[in-house]
A and B are shown apart, each in its own frame.
Chain A
Amino acid sequence: MIRLARGLGALLALTLPFWLANPYFLHVVIMAGIFGVLALSLNLLLGYTGQLSLGHAAFFGIGAYTSALLTLRLEWSFWLALPGAVALTALAGWLIGRLALKLRGAYFVLVTISFAGVISLVSVNWMELTNGPLGLPGVPAPELGPWSLRAKSAYYYLVLAGVALSYLVCARLVGSRIGRAFLALRENEPLAESVGVDVTHYLVLAAVVSAGLAGLAGGLYAHYTRFVSPEVFLFTYTVTMVVMVVAGGKGTLAGPLVGALLFTALPEALRLATSWQWQMLAYGVLLVLLVFFLPRGIVPALAAWRARRAS
C-alpha cells in the first residue's frame, strides 16, 4: 500500500511538467521544492536533535548570495557555484554549532536569531559586495551543455534532483548511528553522554548538514528567481519553514516535504479563493485548527491512523 503510494508519487513527480503545463502552477511546485529542501534541513535540527533554529533564513540567504556572487563576480559555472554555496553555508553552520555548544533551548534560539540579524545587516550595508538593498539582478540561469535550464519545466527537474538528494542525505543519516546520536541528544542528553555519545560533536554535525542543505536551497532559489536581495533573510521565511516542519510532522522524513507542499500551495489557493483581507485570516485559522487536531503533524497522524486500522 505504502509502496504503491510511493511509486505513484515518484511517477507523478517525474512526469509533472508534461501534465502541468501552466507556468503558474509549475512555479508553485518549484517553490514548494525549494521550501521542501529548507524544511528537510530545519527538521534535521528541530525534529531530530530537538534544537530550534530561528535563524535558518540566514543559511538560506548565505547560500543564495554565495551562489549568485560566485557566478556574477567570479564567473564560476553554476555547477561549481552551487557546491561552493553549500560549502560556505556549512561553514557558517559549523560556526553557529560551535558558538552554541553549551546552549540549549531558548538560548540556542536566541543565538540563531541574532546570527540571522547580523547577516541580514551585512547584506544591506556591505554595498561593494552585495549591492545593498538594491540586490543583485541578472543572476545567470544554469546551463547544461548546450541547453539552458531557464525554462520552468527544465528548472523543475533541477529542483527535484535537489529535493531527492536532500531527502537521501537525511534518510541515510536518520537510519544510521549518526541519526540515533541526534535522537539521543533530543531525548536525554546526560544518558547519551553516559554511553559515549559525544553530544557536542553531533550537535555541530547536525548544524553543519542542516546549514549546508539550507544553502543548497538558497542557491537553487537564486538561480531560479535570478535576483537576490536582502529579502532572502526575512524572518517570514524562517517562520514558514517552522510551520512546514511542525505541521508536516517533525522528526519524520516525509513530514517536512508534505508540509512544504501544503504550505506553499495553501497561500496560493487562498489567494485564488478569497480577497486579500481574508487570506491571512483563513491561513491563520487553518493553521490553528491543524495544530489543534493534529498536534504531532500530518505524517505522524496518518501513521497512527494506519496502525489503528491494521490492528
Chain B
Amino acid sequence: MAGSASVVTLAVRDLAVQFGGVAALGGVSFEVSPGTITSVIGPNGAGKTTAFNAITGYLRPARGEITWDGAPLTGLRPSAIARRGVVRTFQKTSVFPSLSVADNVTIGLHLRATAGFLDVVLGRRRIRDEERRLAADAEAIIAFVGLAHRRREIASALPYGEQRLVELAVALAAHPRLLLLDEPGAGMTSGEKDVVSELIRKIRGRGITVLLVEHDMRMVMGISDIVIVLNHGRVIAEGAPADIRTHPDVIRAYLGTTGDRA
C-alpha cells in the first residue's frame, strides 16, 4: 500500500471530544499517509464529522493530540490551520451563496494573494498584476472541476450537484496539502458521484492527500487506499478496502448483530 516507507503527515492520537456529558469521540487514534485517499466510515453518530471538526479547528477537543507534519494543530483557529495547508469542505452544502462561481473561487485563493491595506488603498500596480494572476488561477480551478460554463452564475442558483463542485473548487483554491472532504457524494446521483470520484483521484494525482468521510460504500471502496472504521467514538478497524469489507467487527457494527442500534 502507499506510504510504507514515507513519513506520516497527519497523526491523531487519543482524540476525545465531549458534548456536555456525552463522549462524541472517546480517544481515537489514526494516521494518514501522504499521497493517499483515506476514508473514515462508520454508522451515523460514530463521530466522523466530529473528528473532522476537531482536526480543522472548529471544535476544541477535550483531550488528545493532532499533529500535522510534526507540529501540533490543536488550539489553532481554522484560518491558521488552512494556512498550514489543511483545508476542509462541509457536510451540508457550503458556498458563498449570493456570489458568482468565479467570485467564490477567488475568495478561496485568499492565501495565494498578498495585498495589504495600504497596497490596496494606494492602488499599487503590483496589486493589479496580482489580481490578474488570481483571475487566471480561478479560471483554471473552475475548469478543473468542470464548471467553466457556469463561472458567471450565482452559486446558490446552481443545481445541488454543481454547488458541491463549487465547494470543492473553493477548497482546492486554498492550495491544500491535506484536503478533508465531508461526505462529498451526499445527495448526488450515481452519475454525479462517479464524476466526484474521478475528481478526487485527480486531486490525489496532484499530490494532495485526501481524507474523506463518506456513507456510500461503493464510492468508498472504489477510491480509497485506506479505510478507517469508527463506531461509538472508537476506531474498530483500519486497512485496505478489501480487508475492511470482510472484517467481522465492521460487519457487526453495520448490521448490528449484537443488538446495537446505531
Contact = CB atoms under 8 A, between A and B. Distances in A.
Interface string A217-241: 0000000000000000000000000
B52 to A, nearest CB: 11
B121 interface: yes
A181 B56 CA distance: 20
Q: Is the interface of B mostly helix, strand, loop or mixed?
A: helix
Given A177-B115, A194-B82, A169 B170 contact: no
Contact of A180 (B80, B83, B87, B107): B107
B123 to A, nearest CB: 6
B175 to A, nearest CB: 9
A187 B99 contact: yes
B110 A181 contact: yes
B78 A194 contact: yes
Most buried by B among A177, A178, A183, A198: A177
A178 B134 CA distance: 14
Given A172-B120, A183-B107, A190-B58, A196 B79 contact: yes
A199 B113 CA distance: 16
A266 interface: no
Given A172-B121, A172-B123, A195 B98 contact: no
Given A177-B120, A180-B107, 19 more contacts: A172-B120, A173-B120, A175-B131, A176-B131, A177-B110, A180-B106, A183-B103, A183-B107, A190-B94, A192-B96, A192-B107, A193-B78, A194-B78, A194-B90, A195-B87, A195-B170, A196-B87, A196-B110, A197-B79
6 contacts: A176-B120, A183-B107, A191-B90, A191-B170, A195-B110, A196-B87
Interface of B: 56, 58, 77-80, 82-83, 87-90, 94-99, 103, 106-108, 110-111, 113, 115, 117, 120-121, 123, 127, 131, 134, 170-171, 173-174
